[in-house]
Chains A and B, each alone.
Chain A
């Protein structure tokens, strides 16, 4: 623990010293050169901090961050020139304009993933530049816009910009740190690690990404207004410069994306390198080569960036000092007769004539079946019979081409997956999908019961939630692993944690995709025991499983699928004796040999 305390103290000390030095500098020195260098540092840092919210936390790399500076600059300049009011009045407006453009753009761009998003942000910069060049009547085209000269005296000529950008930097860091601590931040990181899974546990990924995108643009836009005034001249190539975006991305990568202070450090470093090489080589082409080379080097040799790499090193050291804690899975099972909950006769889930096609393959072809409340229903069938597709249709990862899916009396086939999670649907995956970089406890806390603006602002892990998560981990026998990174667990352990994670939202219906697949018999036994326990407490299950003895032991009724349709539904014993099932599932020449597990 001493390592952590010292680390935090050192950081706090550095931050306080930095802030004091930054605030005091213009009072001590009127040197306009150094003030300019420093406010450019602030600018680069605050843009990198904004980029980090959408690209570091959320994992959506953007090369368009610089464009928001341009929007703010143009908005502020145009308003100033039209109204002849002081520039400062319109700086916040510049921020709002950038944020609104980000929101509109995000509405469409945030539907894209991975490389498509990067491509569209590159396009954004160039389109903005083209519009600024060609819309001469407003933007002045390539002649640009000239703002009224500042009225500050020689000694103070750069000081207002210096403080304005310092305040904006502080505000962006505060916003970024705050987001990191809240549900919003936890959700963004979940999206970065595995977006489909995040949606499956109730995170409204689209809304989260949109908020992050807008937040990243706000201060960049305001900074654009200040920057325009500092330059007193803006033009399309200067304001919508892809190289500028590259520099701020490089700053965030170098300092460390995903961390709060990394981009700040990176911003200062990049600006100093920029200034230094400008003096040495006079900018221009050498400059471009240099920044390209640094970026390649950072991505290849220092992919995590300075701050996270340092933190990792410290954590490794601390762990080595503290030694390994002995951990084991609690595999005890309750030795008592399983009792079934009273059958309510209510239908919890119903599929009516559901169809789904992929590139010519009719994966689900008029599937209908129902799951009664309080049952443990199995869904079995030969490979390629459409079980997994049916699962994904119910859970919302896929949408049916036709047919109805009714969950607890409500049509859900058009609802996104996170809404279905909010309506009481939980699921595990055949190959577990925990967030590998998060701890086990953070994983269990990650699910969100509903979307609301207030929840976004709530702390990421509240006391009550942590307590409940620990209870659930104890329930599946994984209490000893709460602080471990999920990626370090074995497959069987991950399956248990995923069940605990599903339970966090207290779902009515739990879908389990091959719970026993690839898991040791001891863990299977524990899992079966927990499923029984939950079922006794009123939870309904729908299970896809290949292990037939297990199905026979645990499930009733059993729904059998073949070629995308339901071909039988009965008790396990009856299904196994059904000639139709034998024919389709076991093969016509099946000689009665049992495949046991």
Chain B
């Protein structure tokens, strides 16, 4: 029983961090209709940045999210201007291929710079844990989840309470009408993409403390993030948050009760099962599609 509770708690904490990592994928899909599989590479890039700064400056890695987030925002801006901007008229499936290719460039580049060895960020509390009764809660996971939730709340406020948020949602729902209302749709798309890159990068900073990583872990992350957003219905932040918690718990359950070698299979199975049984996700609203003819 204690073990089960512990698994659930650890899974939920993990899920909170997953939610931050997946928020970028959801945001970019919701606003731009692009399944940005580069997100896996962005996450690992965020992790490497954190590792590098931690090694050079010796600052706490979770605090470093303050530094890596703006840098990742810049990376997102660059990728948008170089590639994504040109994909506006491309078929949906082609944009997925293109973002996958951008991911390859990043992963290969990381391999060239940092080699293919495992890296890990180990602050003093990396191996410490709180003991609450019989429960064992690693400190790093608790801090990471806390920071993730704070950042997600900030993102939520940004989208629902500010003019930028209104502009982002308007551009997502009806680009032509948004332009007529004086919203620079291209700028909004660039900002959205960059914000999405930044939040995923911040997720990478937090994850760097939890797991060792090397460039090709990006592929594992792509699948995990896809599994989460598919579960949450692709474009809703709320759905993604719940999807991420479920994913975290499911992975903990499988690695505890089945086998760690099958843990990586969980996201794929989730993708398969959800897409086949409920393509709109567990929380996706069934939208009326028959009259929404693009003009």
Contacts and interface: CB of A to CB of B under 8 A. Distances in A.
Do A and B share a direct contact in the complex (Cβ within 8 angstroms)? yes
Interface of A: 55, 59-61, 63, 108-109, 111-112, 114-120, 122-123, 126-127, 130, 133-134, 242-243, 246, 249-250, 253, 284-293, 295-296, 299-300, 303, 358-359, 363, 388-389, 392, 397-398, 429-431, 433
B236 to A, nearest CB: 14
B187 interface: no
A115 B35 contact: yes
Most buried by A among B100, B104, B279: B104
7 contacts: A118-B96, A130-B264, A285-B112, A289-B105, A296-B83, A303-B94, A389-B291
Main secondary structure of the interface of B (DSSP, over half): helix
A108 B101 contact: no
B111 interface: yes
Contact of A359 (B83, B94, B286): B286
Interface in B54-106: 83, 86-87, 90-94, 96-98, 100-106
A389 B292 CA distance: 12
B275 A299 contact: no
B272 interface: yes
A310 to B, nearest CB: 20
A573 B279 CA distance: 48
Interface stretch (B6-14, B168-176, B222-230): B222-230
Nearest to A243: B104
Given A120-B271, A296-B83, A249 B97 contact: yes
A126 B223 contact: yes
A277 B109 CA distance: 16
Given A119-B230, A242-B219, A303 B112 contact: no
In the A-B complex, the 5 residue pairs with the closest CB atoms: A292-B104, A288-B108, A61-B93, A289-B108, A285-B111
B231 to A, nearest CB: 12
A246 B94 contact: no
Contacts of A115: 35, 92-93, 96
B261 to A, nearest CB: 6
Contacts of B230: 116, 119
Contacts of A126: 219, 223, 264, 268
A388 B290 CA distance: 9
Contacts of A130: 262, 264-265, 268
Given A119-B230, A289-B109, A431-B295, A295 B101 contact: yes
A412 B99 CA distance: 43
A299 B94 CA distance: 7
Contacts of B262: 130, 134
A242 B218 CA distance: 12
A295 B222 contact: no
A288 B111 contact: yes
A363 B111 CA distance: 56
Contact of B223 (A55, A123, A285, A388): A123
A253 to B, nearest CB: 7
B108 A286 contact: yes
A134 B230 CA distance: 25
Nearest to B35: A115
Contacts of B261: 133-134
Contact of A118 (B35, B87, B90, B105): B35
A296 B268 contact: no
Given A130-B264, A292-B108, A358-B288, A299 B93 contact: no
